[in-house]
Amino acid sequence: MPIHIEAKEDEVADIVLLPGNPERAKYIAKKFLDDPKLYTSYREMYGYTGTFNGVKVSVQTTGMGVPSTAIILEELNMLGAKTLIRVGTCGALKEGLEAADLLIGQSAATAGTTINSLTDDITLAPPADFELINNLYQSAIKLDMPVHVGQIVTSDYFYGKSDNYIDGLKKLAEYGVLGVEMETAALYNIAAKYGLRAATVLTVSDHVFTQVRADKDKIQQGVDRMTEMVLKTVTKLFD
C-alpha cells in the first residue's frame, strides 16, 4: 500500500478523475457515481471508486499544486491507474474567455514549478493524450459547450500578483496560453514518465487580468457540466 493513498491495487479503477479540491471529489463521487466506495481519506485526500454507465471509475483528490499532485500521481501509478483526467478550475489569460467556459489543456507550460526537476537542463513539453482530448472536444461541441483547446500554464503560485509575475502571464497570453492553474504539468510529465493516458479539462473560474471571479453557483454549474461530459466520454472510450 502506498504511503498517502491508503488503498489496495484492486480498489482503484483504470480510469481516474482528478479534482484538486477534496470536497469536489466527494461531491463528484456522490452525485455521478453508482455505489461509490471511499478507499482513502488520509490527509482528507479523498478517493472513491464506483461505476458510471456500468464502467468502474475512481475520483481522487490531488490537493493544490505540483508537489501534492506529484505524490498522488506516483501512487496512482503504483496502484495501476491507466487513464487520468484532471477536472479542475483555472484563471483565464486569453481575452474573451468567459466564466464557466471549458478549456482543454493540449499541453502545459510551467511557471516556476518543481516538476521541471524531472529532467536536468531540459524542460519537457509532454502533451495530453490525443485520443482523449479529441474525444472530449467532440463531446463538448456536440453538447454545445463553449470549449477552447490549447496550451495552459501550471504555476506554483496562486497569489503571484507582483508586477513581474503578471507581466510574465501577459507574455504567455501573447503566445496563446489560454489559462493558468496549478497541477497539469505534474500530470502530463508523470503520465509521460509511466506511459499513462492523461488529459486536463478546466472550467474558467475567473479572469486573471481583470480579477473578476464568477460567483460560486456559476462555477459549480460549469464544473457539473464538465464532469458529466468527461465521465460520459471516457467511459464510452475505454469501457
Ligand X SMILES: O=P(O)(O)O[C@H]1O[C@H](CO)[C@@H](O)[C@H]1O
Ligand Y SMILES: O=c1cc[nH]c(=O)[nH]1
Question: Which residues bind to ligand X, rule: CB under 6 A?
Answer: 19-21, 64, 88-89, 158, 181-183
Q: Is the separation of the CB atoms in 157 and 110 below 8 Å?
A: no
Question: Following DSSP, what letter does each residue of 165-226 receive, concatenated?
Answer: HHHHHHHHHHTT--EEESSHHHHHHHHHHHT-EEEEEEEEEEETTTTEE--HHHHHHHHHHH
21 binds, among ligand Y, ligand X, none (CB under 5 to 8 A by kind): ligand X
Ordered alpha helix ranges (H), the chain: 22-32, 66-78, 130-142, 163-174, 184-194, 216-237
* Residue closest to ligand X when measured from CB atoms: 20
Residue numbers of the site for ligand Y (CB under 6 A)? 89-91, 158, 180-182, 205-206, 208
Rounded-to-integer distance, Cα 90 and Cα 172, Å: 15
Annotated active-site residue in 14, 156, 206, 224: 206
If the CB atoms of residues 77 and 113 are measured against ligand X, the closer one turns out to be 113
If the CB atoms of residues 11 and 181 are measured against ligand X, the closer one turns out to be 181
- CA torsion angle 150 60 36 198 (round to 10): 40
Q: How far is the CB of 8 from ligand X (least distance, A)?
A: 26
Q: How far is the CB of 67 from ligand Y (least distance, A)?
A: 15
Q: How far is the CB of 208 from ligand Y (least distance, A)?
A: 5
* Residue closest to ligand Y when measured from CB atoms: 91
* Grid cell digits, residue 4: 498517502
If the CB atoms of residues 8 and 30 are measured against ligand X, the closer one turns out to be 30
175 binds, among ligand X, ligand Y, none (CB under 5 to 8 A by kind): none
Rounded-to-integer distance, Cα 206 and Cα 140, Å: 20
Angle, in degrees to the nearest 10, between helices 66-78 and 184-194: 30
Catalytic, 206? Answer yes
Rounded-to-integer distance, Cα 7 and Cα 15, Å: 15
Q: How far is the CB of 201 from ligand X (least distance, A)?
A: 10
| Residue from 180, 151, 203, 165 nearest 65 by CA | 180
19 binds, among ligand X, ligand Y, none (CB under 5 to 8 A by kind): ligand X
Q: How far is the CB of 181 from ligand Y (least distance, A)?
A: 4
64 binds, among ligand X, ligand Y, none (CB under 5 to 8 A by kind): ligand X
Report, as residue numbers or ranges, the catalytic residues: 206
